[in-house]
Structure 1
Amino acid sequence: MIRMGELDQRVTIQAETETPDGRGGYTKGWSAVATVWARVRPLSGRERQNAQQTEASVSYGVVIRRRTDVTTACRLIWNGKVMNIRFVGEAGTRDPWLSLECEAGVPV
């Protein structure tokens, strides 16, 4: 059970957008959908070698108030970190919370 006081971090939810480039194509970017209160907790971290470089990634558990517009196609910004949403937990339509598993330190 989560108490309101535990939502003590601000996160920005972003969705990918396509803007016409004037030449018949599109430029992809990200736009803010909402800035909401969240509980953010680190779950795990790892390092791996890729193309002779070390990549470090961290998984986070994030809880926000239930929203219907958050999917794995979105991403979160928290304390300047870009976090990809890897999993959206569906607990039922009456649950007031939405649980997300996010990963920082990896390309989108």
Structure 2
Amino acid sequence: MSELRHRITILRPVADTDEEGNILSSPVVEVEKAWALVLPFAAKISDGYAEKVQEVDYRVVIRYRTDVQVTDRVRWGNKTLTPIAPPYPLGGKKRWLVIECRELVEDG
């Protein structure tokens, strides 16, 4: 894992509610910047009758930390990745943390 060569930013949505308890659209705040290894591992192109969906899945590996939540987002360059599973330690040891993410590629 000496190849942590990608710079990522961990973003966290801030949930606000109005006086009736409805969740309002939430801005994101920058939690931390970290060095990471970003590996694309799957791509899915689904062409249904109603819409075409293109997804790319990534495995993001960073140094182990306990403050990454499943609701956080990962910004890598100009891409915003959404976690699809809770973060887990690589190999069961608390040295590296793996965040499996998905990027939805929009058709321009």
Where on the TM-score scale, by shorter chain, does this alignment land: which range?
Answer: 0.7 to 0.9
Q: 5+ residue gaps in structure 1? A: none
Q: How many residues align?
A: 100
Q: Give runs of aligned pairs for residues 31-50 of structure 1, distance below 5 A.
A: 31-49=29-47
In structure 2, list runs of 5 or more residues that go unmatched: none
Q: Give the TM-score taking structure 2 as reference length.
A: 0.79
Counterpart secondary structure, 1:7: coil
- CA distance in 1: counterparts of 2:53 and 2:80, whole angstroms: 15
Q: Measure how far apart 1:56 and its partner are.
A: 0.5
Q: How large is the RMSD of aligned CA atoms in angstroms?
A: 2.2
- 2:100: which partner in 1? 101
Q: Secondary structure at the match of 1:12?
A: strand
Counterpart of 2:7 in structure 1 is 10
Partner Cα separation in structure 1 for residue 49 and residue 73 of structure 2: 25
Percent of residue pairs bearing the same amino acid type: 28
Q: Which has the higher strand share?
A: 1
Q: 1:49 to 1:11 in 2, by over 3 A?
A: same
Most deviating of 97-106 and 35-44: 97-106
Quote the residue 1:85 is aligned against: 83
Per-residue deviation at 1:52? 2.3
Q: Deviations over 1:17-66 (max 9, x none)?
A: 0346xx63644121110111000011000011357221110111110011
